[in-house]
Chain A
Amino acid sequence: MSSNDRPLSPHLQIYRWQWTMALSILHRATGIGLAAGTLLLVGWLLAMSEGPERYAAYQGILDHWFGRLLLFGWTWALFYHLCNGIRHLIWDTGRGFELNIAAASGYIVGGASIVLTVIAWVASYSNMGAT
């Protein structure tokens, strides 16, 4: 009998799917997404440092519908990871572990991430119109 064939914790397949599990996995998924998204930030700064032509070319890429979609996804991932990160920091103080509170804070985080994303994009578009 090989000990290597034993199933490893946490046996994801035996749990009933719950909202809080999705939030937990999303924290990790958005973290990975944001890591890839840092390329946008580095690209933006490098393009800016290389002069107006490079900068305009870079803006052109982000102006494409796919560029905007990436940026939109990145905005939501940023706000989600930020809000859920605050939730994690509160947990680190030993508070908020009661089942109903953990579920409620999850709904707050999900809602806040969407609201903040919409606010950011509406404000960005109205700024673009103003200049």
Chain B
Amino acid sequence: MSLQSPLGRVRGLGSAKNGTHHWWIQRVTAVALLPLTLWFAVAMIKMTGSSHGVAIAWVRSPFNAIMLLLLIIATFHHMQLGLQVVIEDYIHSEGAKLVLILAQKLASFALAIAAGFAVLKIAFGG
């Protein structure tokens, strides 16, 4: 006999009130990162050793700037989801766990903003 209410079961959110959201977004960002990562790897191979001017011109191309921004968003979103799970698995003290997860999420967000800002600054010719 299940002690879960019919409403609770149909909502499917569990005790953390989050359901499969974390798992699902990790998969969504993973799928997004497949083409984005391959595109980035090929671009980096082509740009190896190139000058500042060549690199700037590459980022200024609208397609490359958009792809870079997508890569940055998907990468850092996927990263903070993954690091959260690692911390939850290995850090058993409730306080340290909370502090580390918070620090990790804020750092991921800050890095994403810094990278995105750099791309926009270059793309808009700053």
Contacts and interface: CB of A to CB of B under 8 A. Distances in A.
Contacts of B122: 45, 48-49
A129 to B, nearest CB: 9
Secondary structure class of chain A's binding surface, majority of residues: helix
Nearest to B56: A48
B48 A55 contact: no
A51 B111 CA distance: 20
Interface of A: 28, 31-32, 34-35, 38-39, 41-42, 45-46, 48-49, 51-52, 55-56, 59, 75, 78-79, 82, 85-86, 88-89, 92, 120, 123-125, 127-128, 131
Interface string B30-42: 1101100110010
A35 B30 contact: no
A124 B76 CA distance: 26
A38 B37 contact: no
Nearest to B121: A49
A127 B45 contact: yes
A88 B38 CA distance: 18
15 contacts: A31-B82, A32-B83, A34-B79, A35-B82, A38-B76, A39-B111, A45-B114, A45-B122, A51-B52, A52-B53, A82-B38, A85-B30, A89-B27, A120-B41, A124-B48
B49 to A, nearest CB: 4
A42 B33 CA distance: 17
Contacts, number: 87
A118 to B, nearest CB: 12
Contact of A55 (B45, B52, B111): B52
Given A28-B86, A89-B31, A127 B48 contact: yes
A48 B75 contact: no
Interface in B91-126: 108, 111, 114-115, 117-119, 121-122, 126
Contact of A49 (B82, B108, B126): B126
Contact of B52 (A35, A52, A92): A52
